[in-house]
Amino acid sequence: MPVLDTPTKNRPRARLEQREADIIDAATRLFASDGFHATSTRRIAAEAGVSEGTVFNYFSTKNALLLAILDEFYARLTETAREGVEKVMDTRERLLFLATNHLRELLDNQALMIRLIQVYLSVDINYYTDYKNTHIHRLNYQYTRIFDGVVREGIERGDLDPALSLPAFRDLFFGGLEYGMRTLLGKNNTANVAAYVQQIVDPLWTGMLAPAGRDVPGSPETEQRLEKACRRLEKAVRKLEQAAERS
């Protein structure tokens, strides 16, 4: 039976909660530095100053411990995102804020979270049957709803193109950020988050602008013809170039 879930009659909860926090803290630290699979429950117990059995009293499995950590993280992430969106009004500023907040929170946690999420996805999920029923999917859903809200409001205001696909745009946004974080980490250039966020959000922003905000390209026939001719020439030249290379 999970310790904190039982009615605990008149027991002082403070100590129990302290223990749970100690275990989570220890696990978070170790997962971050060594990774999930390289961290044993024995070491977590030692680091938290308890025995191994106690760890399993508070968390039924090592996976449940991981989920508890992700829970805390998503709570913080969702909270900061919601606050920021409420403060900022401009659609573009909101998107920039969400992106920056996302990366900042991930990097502040030493890239721990993205690794844990990946581990969890790879360990526990069979996309074909039960992804939608997983706890992590629910956390993710709550979080991305904030983003969805910003986009919907942007469309209502006329800032964004009503024709764009929200799921596709969401995938671009968060997928781009996740890969962007890896790029930043690879370059050891985590200081320059704002600049990279701008580089990621800018093209997306242009691409999802309402048509009114864009220049209308209804070109005259001559231009179209030239364009077409150029493409045909381009194709021919490429073929010739390749043939030349081979010989």
Partner DNA sequence: ATTATTATTGAGCGTTACTCAACCTCAGGG
Partner DNA sequence: CCCTGAGGTTGAGTAACGCTCAATAATAAT
Cβ density class 82-118: b for 16+ within 10 Å, e for less = eebbeebeebeebbbbbbbbbbbbbbebebbbbbbbe
For the CB of residue 23, give the shortest distance to a second copy in the complex, in Å: 21
Residues binding DNA: number (CB under 7 A):
30
Neighbours of 17 (CB within 10 A): 12
57 binds DNA (CB under 7 A): yes
Q: Which stretch binds DNA (CB under 7 A): 7-15, 122-130, 163-171, 179-187?
A: 7-15
Binding mask 22-51 for a second copy (x = CB under 8 A): -------------xxxx-------------
Phi, psi (5° rounding) for residue 164?
-70, 150
Q: Which residue, 41 or 134, has its beta carbon nearer to DNA? A: 41
Q: Which stretch binds DNA (CB under 7 A): 12-20, 166-174, 205-213, 239-247?
A: 12-20
56 binds DNA (CB under 7 A): yes
Cα–Cα distance measured from residue 160 to residue 151, given in angstroms and rounded to the nearest whole number: 7
**78: exposed, middle or buried (C-beta count within 10 Å: 0-12, 13-18, 19+)?**
middle
Q: Which stretch binds DNA (CB under 7 A): 42-50, 68-76, 98-106, 216-224?
A: 42-50
For the CB of residue 108, give the shortest distance to a second copy in the complex, in Å: 14
Cα–Cα distance measured from residue 32 to residue 107, given in angstroms and rounded to the nearest whole number: 11
Q: Which residue, 54 or 63, has its beta carbon nearer to a second copy? A: 63
Among a second copy, DNA, none, residue 57 binds (CB under 5-8 Å by kind): DNA
Which residue carries 């390289």 as its tokens?
Answer: 38
SS3 124: helix
DSSP 3-state percent helix, strand, coil across the chain (nearest 5)? 80, 0, 20
14 binds DNA (CB under 7 A): no
| 37 in Cβ contact with 119 (< 8 Å) | yes
Among a second copy, DNA, none, residue 61 binds (CB under 5-8 Å by kind): DNA
174 binds a second copy (CB under 8 A): yes
For the CB of residue 4, give the shortest distance to a second copy in the complex, in Å: 28
For the CB of residue 33, give the shortest distance to DNA in the complex, in Å: 14
Neighbours of 150 (CB within 10 A): 19
Footprint on this chain of DNA (rule: CB under 7 A): 1, 3, 6-12, 15-16, 19, 37, 39-43, 50-54, 56-58, 60-63
